[in-house]
């Protein structure tokens, strides 16, 4: 049995192995069991191969064969944040119980496993004992971001990084029926060994929500607690303090569980607690994975059936029934009561900070706090028949390809009626986020008849990926191309009219156009800021002139709303 001891066990449960040692351990499964195959799915910025372990009793080592088995495909992702690495070690222990000791071999009866040991390998190999100041072990751990200093768990929709591009290829080819994403959290101290994030709001199919709330979560909670782990919802606090309450609101598709929701799939976000010892975190993660697989194995047919319906429902609801799509979700202020299992705390004045610091004792307490777990739609839209993308936006098309979104190209020029968006009140964040300068703006929709040249892209929404399409292409969606700064150039003015040119021109057009003249003087009277802005007053006339760029602050991607107008 020494042959199958993991580095975690050999180190007295204090260490996690480096990447080469990790893969060598998984290769022993491949060498000894015909049900295991390891594949490369991509390459990191520093040239390391990203591996995925496939475990299938039927040797269904490609998506086509896997789908024919009618088994649930479960994707387990580890090490997207490599300092939070216990999922990798938990998977080693669980696979040993499935394949070697065979005490859990029944889990493969109705399941095919895809395991990514480490997604962020470059960050994993940037190893140090000082990478996670808030974490209790292992002795050394990886770094949060990849070699490009980007957080992969903000990249699922925009797909800037090679690692997520590789992940998306795997995900969309295999289209797993369930995903588990393993992490460790920071923040306050409390009794919970492990917490979970899972989508149950308007951003995921109602059938999946019913399965989660009525069957899966009760089963998981009961089983994990029977393993002597205290489990609860992910602890993000409203104002950073326990007493302010827990935020359990919709996650955007930049995150793993938000992305899966947009893909009509369930993702369990596992968050062990950083202050618990490393061995406790490994075993609580293993408990979460094991009991999730048990549930899926027992309810495989139901999960597959609900997933199939969830893939049909976006088109049925938002195109055929013309229901409005919930584009922007936020809390509605309502909450339930939650009995929080914490530790007694006190506030202590610090000469270092000049303020009080919250410190925790080891005395368990239970207090009632709010959990804000209801959401409302700030903006809803009717989903168009298609989105129209000019052929010059190849970077946008490339992202659609990563998500395996279907599109076509015009073979001839065509005149069509479209809806377009115009931006106003544009501003930018003072600092970059994930290497991008994020804008904020307001939008106004207007109709226009346009001549589309040959080669223009048509992206129909009548497909399984409707939620992904809308989240990418609707500018007001929180993770849209526009919100991620892909179209910042369209907020810029590229030509200007000098005052000595525009001032005499303004006099002429004001004499000829009495309506314009009236509008100008009304604005002067009503708007003090405008009245005291010489350049703004000239700009008023510039915007009304034929010199003004009609493409400024106009979104170049269009919504197709009718058949050809010609």
Distance CA(200)–CA(375), nearest Å, equals 10
Task: Round the CA-based radius of gyration of the chain to a whole number and report it.
Answer: 27
Which pTM was predicted? Answer: 0.95
What is the pLDDT, as a whole number, of residue 565? 37
Separation in Å, CA 540 to CA 427, 519, 534: 20, 10, 10
Helix crossing, 534-544 with 514-526: angle to 10°?
150
Instruction: Classify residue 450 by its DSSP letter.
Output: E
pLDDT-derived band at 220, boundaries 50, 70, 90? very high
Distance CA(423)–CA(437), nearest Å, equals 17
Q: Is the CB of residue 414 less than 8 Å from the CB of residue 564?
A: yes
**What is the share, in percent, of the chain residues with pLDDT greater than 70?**
99
The tokens of 562 are what?
């009718």
Tokens 């990191």 correspond to 44
What is the pLDDT, as a whole number, of residue 563? 58
Tokens 């049900």 correspond to 35
**What is the share, in percent, of the chain residues with pLDDT greater than 90?**
92
Distance CA(184)–CA(113), nearest Å, equals 22
Average pLDDT over residues 86-95: 98
The tokens of 78 are what?
């580890």
C-alpha closest to that of 463 among 383, 553, 525, 393? 383
The tokens of 460 are what?
């129909």
pLDDT-derived band at 1, boundaries 50, 70, 90? low
Separation in Å, CA 168 to CA 177, 203, 307, 363: 15, 19, 19, 45
pLDDT-derived band at 542, boundaries 50, 70, 90? confident
Per-residue pLDDT of 104-127, as tens digits, reads 999 999 999 999 999 999 999 999
Per-residue pLDDT of 335-354, as tens digits, reads 999 999 999 999 999 999 99
What is the pLDDT, as a whole number, of residue 551? 87
What is the pLDDT, as a whole number, of residue 68? 98
**What are the chain's domains?**
2-323 (3.40.630.10), 336-376 (no CATH), 383-493+552-560 (no CATH), 499-544 (no CATH)
- Kindly tell me if the per-residue pLDDT of 562 is higher than 80: no
Per-residue pLDDT of 451-487, as tens digits, reads 999 999 999 999 999 999 999 999 999 999 999 999 9
The tokens of 350 are what?
């610090």
- Kindly tell me if the per-residue pLDDT of 566 is higher than 90: no
The tokens of 538 are what?
């000239």
Strand ranges of the sheet holding 246-247, from the earlier edge strand across to the other edge: 246-247, 355-372, 336-350
Instruction: Classify residue 48 by its DSSP letter.
Output: P
Mean pLDDT of the chain, nearest integer:
96
C-alpha closest to that of 22 among 107, 173, 138? 138
Per-residue pLDDT of 377-425, as tens digits, reads 999 999 999 999 999 999 999 999 999 999 999 999 999 999 999 999 9
Name the β-bridge partners of 37: 54
- Kindly tell me if the per-residue pLDDT of 185 is higher than 50: yes
C-alpha closest to that of 243 among 367, 416, 93, 373? 367
Please count the other Cβ atoms lying within 10 Å of the Cβ belonging to residue 171.
24
CA 180, 184, 187, 188 dihedral sign is: positive
Please count the other Cβ atoms lying within 10 Å of the Cβ belonging to residue 288.
28
Burial of 430 (C-beta count, 10 Å sphere; 0-12/13-18/19+): exposed
Average pLDDT over residues 502-507: 89
- Kindly tell me if the per-residue pLDDT of 374 is higher than 60: yes
C-alpha closest to that of 75 among 309, 265, 349, 343? 265
- Kindly tell me if the per-residue pLDDT of 53 is higher than 90: yes
pLDDT-derived band at 546, boundaries 50, 70, 90? confident
């Amino acid at each position: 049995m020494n042959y199958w001891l993991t580095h975690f066990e050999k180190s007295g449960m204090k260490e996690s192995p480096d990447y080469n040692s990790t893969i060598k351990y998984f290769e022993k499964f491949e060498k000894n069991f015909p049900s295991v195959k390891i594949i490369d799915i991509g390459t990191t910025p520093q040239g390391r191969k990203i591996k995925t372990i496939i475990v299938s009793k039927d040797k269904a080592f490609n998506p086509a064969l896997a789908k024919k088995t009618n088994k649930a495909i479960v994707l387990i992702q580890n090490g997207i944040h490599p300092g939070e690495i216990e999922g990798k070690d938990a998977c080693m222990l669980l696979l040993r119980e499935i394949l070697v000791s065979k005490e859990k071999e029944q889990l493969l009866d109705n399941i095919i496993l895809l395991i990514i040991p480490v997604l962020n390998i470059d960050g994993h190999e940037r190893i140090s004992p000082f990478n996670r100041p808030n974490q209790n072990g292992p002795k050394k751990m990886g770094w949060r971001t990849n070699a490009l200093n980007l957080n992969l768990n903000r990249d699922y929709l925009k797909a800037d990084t090679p690692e997520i591009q590789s992940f998306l290829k795997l995900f969309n080819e295999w289209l797993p029926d369930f995903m588990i994403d393993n992490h460790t959290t920071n923040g306050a101290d409390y009794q919970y060994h492990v917490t979970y994030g899972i989508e149950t709001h308007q951003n995921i199919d109602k059938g999946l929500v019913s399965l989660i709330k009525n069957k899966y979560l009760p089963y998981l909670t009961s089983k994990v607690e029977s393993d002597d782990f205290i489990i609860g919802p992910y602890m993000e606090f409203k104002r950073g303090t326990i007493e302010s309450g827990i935020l359990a609101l919709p996650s955007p598709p930049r995150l793993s569980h938000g992305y899966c929701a947009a893909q009509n799939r369930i993702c369990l976000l596992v968050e062990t607690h950083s202050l618990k010892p490393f061995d406790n975190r490994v075993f609580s993660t293993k408990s979460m994975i094991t009991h999730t697989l048990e549930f899926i194995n027992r309810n495989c047919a139901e999960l597959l059936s609900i997933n199939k319906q969830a893939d049909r429902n976006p088109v049925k609801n938002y195109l055929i029934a013309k229901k409005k799509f919930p584009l922007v979700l936020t809390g509605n202020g309502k909450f339930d009561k939650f009995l929080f299992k914490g530790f007694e705390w006190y506030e202590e004045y610090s000469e270092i900070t000049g303020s009080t610091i919250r410190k925790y004792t080891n005395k368990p307490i239970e207090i009632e706090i709010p959990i804000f777990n209801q959401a409302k739609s700030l903006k809803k839209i009717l989903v168009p028949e298609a989105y129209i993308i000019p052929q010059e936006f190849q970077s946008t098309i490339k992202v659609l390809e990563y998500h395996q979104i279907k599109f076509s190209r015009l073979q001839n020029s065509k005149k069509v009626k479209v809806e377009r968006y115009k931006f106003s009140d544009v501003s930018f964040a003072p600092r970059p986020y994930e290497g991008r300068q994020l804008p904020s703006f307001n939008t106004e929709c207007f109709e226009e008849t346009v001549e589309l040249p040959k080669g223009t892209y048509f992206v129909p929404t009548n497909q399984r990926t409707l939620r992904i399409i809308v989240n990418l292409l609707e500018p007001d969606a929180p993770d849209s191309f526009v919100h991620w700064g892909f179209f910042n150039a369209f907020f810029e003015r590229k030509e200007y009219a000098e005052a000595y040119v525009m001032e005499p021109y303004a006099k002429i057009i004001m004499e000829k156009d009495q309506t314009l003249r009236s509008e100008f003087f009304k604005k002067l009277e009503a708007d003090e800021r405008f009245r005291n802005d010489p350049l703004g007053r000239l700009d008023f006339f510039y915007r009304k002139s034929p010199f003004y760029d009609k493409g400024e602050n106009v979104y170049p991607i269009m919504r197709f709303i009718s058949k050809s107008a010609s």
